Amino acid sequence: MSALTTASDGFRLHGEPFRIVSGAMHYFRVHPDQWADRLRKARLMGLNTVETYVPWNLHQPEPGTLVLDGFLDLPRYLRLAQAEGLYVLLRPGPYICAEWDGGGLPSWLTTDPDIRLRTSDPRFTDALDRYLDLLLPPLLPHLAASGGPVIAVQVENEYGAYGDDTAYLEHLARALRTGGVGELLFTCDQTDPEHLAAGSLPGVLTTGTFGSRVTESLERLRVHRPEGPLMCAEFWIGWFDHWGEPHHVRDAADAAADLDRLLSAGASVNIYMFHGGTNFGFTNGANHDHAYEPIVTSYDYDAALTESGDPGPKYHAFREVIARHAPVPDEPVPAPAPKLPPTPVELDHRVPLLPHASVLAGPVRVDADPVTMEELGLRAGYALYRTTVPVPGDGVLHFAGGVGDRAQVFVDGAPVGVLERERHEEALPVRVPRAGATLDVLVENMGGVNYGPRIGSPKGLLGPVTFDGTALRGWHCHPLALDDPGAVPFAPVASAPPGEGAQGAQGVQGEEGEAEAPADAGPAFHRGTFEVRTPADTFLSLPGWTKGQAWINGFHLGRYWNRGPQRTLYVPAPVLRPGTNELVLLELQATTRRRAHLTDTPDLGPVKP
User: Over the stretch 242-273, which tens digit does the pLDDT of each residue have?
Assistant: 999 999 999 999 999 999 999 999 999 999 99
Q: Amino acid identity, residue 341?
A: P
The rounded percent of the chain whose pLDDT value lies above 70 is 96
Instruction: Report the CATH architecture of 343-350+496-599.
Output: Sandwich (2.60)
Cβ contact 437:392 at 8 Å? yes
The strand pairing partners of 560, in sequence order, are 548
Residue 484 is predicted with a pLDDT of: 85
Cβ contact 149:88 at 8 Å? yes
Spans of all domains in the chain: 4-323, 343-350+496-599, 362-480
Residue 499 is predicted with a pLDDT of: 35
Q: Amino acid identity, residue 255?
A: A
Q: What is the 3-state secondary structure (H, E, C) of 427-480?
A: EEEEEECCCCEEEEEEEECCCCECCCCCCCCCCEECCCEEECCEECCCEEEEEE
Class (C level, CATH) for 362-480? mainly beta
Report, as residue numbers or ranges, the catalytic residues: 158, 234
Cβ contact 239:245 at 8 Å? no
Sequence-distant (6+) residues with CB within 8 A of 602 are 298, 300, 306, 307, 308, 539, 568, 570
**Residues in the chain where the model's pLDDT stays below 70:** 495-520
Q: What stretch of H or E contains 43?
A: helix 35-45
Nearest to 569 by CA among 534, 605, 606: 605
The fourth-level CATH superfamily of domain 4-323 is Glycosidases (3.20.20.80)
Which pLDDT tens digit goes with each residue over 271-330?
A: 999 999 999 999 999 999 989 999 999 999 999 999 999 999 999 999 999 999 999 999
What is d(CA 171, CA 528) in angstroms, rounded to the nearest whole number?
53
Asked whether the whole model's pTM tops 0.85, one would answer yes
Nearest to 322 by CA among 276, 262, 275, 273: 262
Instruction: Tell me whether the CATH fold assigned to 4-323 matches the one assigned to 362-480.
Output: no
